Amino acid sequence: MNFKNTVQISSLKHLMQFLPMAVCVLVLVPAALADEIPKDWQVYGNARFHYQICYPASLLKPQGEPDNGDGQSFFGDNGVELSVFGRNHVDGLTLADNAKMESTQLAGSSGKTTYQAVRKDWAVVSGNDGKDGVFYSKILDSGDHYVVFELKYTQKESAVYDKVIVQLSRCLKSDQKT
């Protein structure tokens, strides 16, 4: 056996060691990505603030970006509204300050925040508007800006939209962290 044949056999053995891992990657990665975004959902990406979110296209219809390009609203039946947008860090407001601001705005004067969590780079608030409305908001700290989604829906829509929130939260991504 000459040197060339030895190198080829050695290379083949080396390749065979990694073949099972390569097959797993080729099979499992696309499956994992498919699990991440359901088939009937679409992805909205924002160029100005470098984020994306998926949304159920059968339930929510995009309304187009405003002139400043910070995000988009999506409307559904019965007054359901998803708003997603970027917000620059200003005036030294912290993530906790932004969560409080979201909570106050969404609850209004007669509503109530029933859940709030603030972590290192994200926050969540949820509650009701004191009438028939429910809200949920997630905020990502993306370095020099925040990325926010707000979902508002009626209590009678909770069975559907409580599940939607789980997926929205999973697929809200921001690729900028400075």
The pLDDT tens digits of the residues spanning 76-115 come to 998 999 999 999 988 788 999 999 999 999 999 999 999 9
Which tens digit of pLDDT belongs to each residue from 135-175?
999 999 999 999 999 999 999 999 999 999 999 999 999 98
Angstrom distance (rounded) from CA 4 to CA 136: 65
Which tens digit of pLDDT belongs to each residue from 48-61?
999 999 999 999 99
Q: Which of 104, 116, 34, 172 is nearest to 164 (CA)?
A: 172
Calculate the CA 108 to chain-centre distance. Answer: 25
Beta strands at 51-56 and 41-46: parallel, antiparallel or unpaired: antiparallel
What sign for the dihedral angle of Cα 142, 95, 66, 161?
A: positive
